[in-house]
Amino acid sequence: NAGVMQNPRHLVRRRGQEARLRCSPMKGHSHVYWYRQLPEEGLKFMVYLQKENIIDESGMPKERFSAEFPKEGPSILRIQQVVRGDSAAYFCASSPDGRMNTEAFFGQGTRLTVV
């Protein structure tokens, strides 16, 4: 039973390019969460999605960032026109449902470096 799969593990982009980060949740999980972790900092919530729905995007920057979780395929976090400040580790987590008492399972993360 594969865990949460994120790819790529490492991504290098030049300033102004687009970054696309993919997350395949655990089998049977329909809830996905994206977090950003800066060096020596904690996890900052970005967005919470269910299949074909954005549940909570209160942590997403208003510009350049978008996320989707289509009916088929992985969840995508898209960053347009990347800047150096976007360099961070981006983690995806999934849970089987939205109940309060279920734990989320995390992927290994995508480390984005903007040069």
Single out the residue of 19, 36, 91, 94 in contact with another protein (rule: CB under 8 A). 91
Question: Cα angle vertex 5, ends 4, 10, to 5°?
Answer: 135
* Contact in structure between 46 and 67 (CB atoms under 8 Å): yes
For the CB of residue 14, give the shortest distance to another protein in the complex, in Å: 23
Q: Is position 98 an interface residue for another protein (rule: CB under 8 A)? A: yes
- 73 vs 98, beta carbon nearer another protein: 98
Binding to another protein, residues 49-88 (CB under 8 A): 55-56, 58
Distance of alpha carbon 33 from the chain centroid: 6
Residues facing residue 20 across a β-bridge: 78
108 scored as a contact of another protein (CB under 8 A): yes
Please state the closest distance from residue 102 (CB atom) to another protein, in A: 8
Whole-angstrom distance, CA of residue 103 vs CA of residue 115 = 35
- Residues forming contacts to another protein in the complex (CB under 8 A) are 4, 6, 33, 35, 41-43, 45, 48, 55-56, 58, 91, 93, 98-101, 103-109, 111
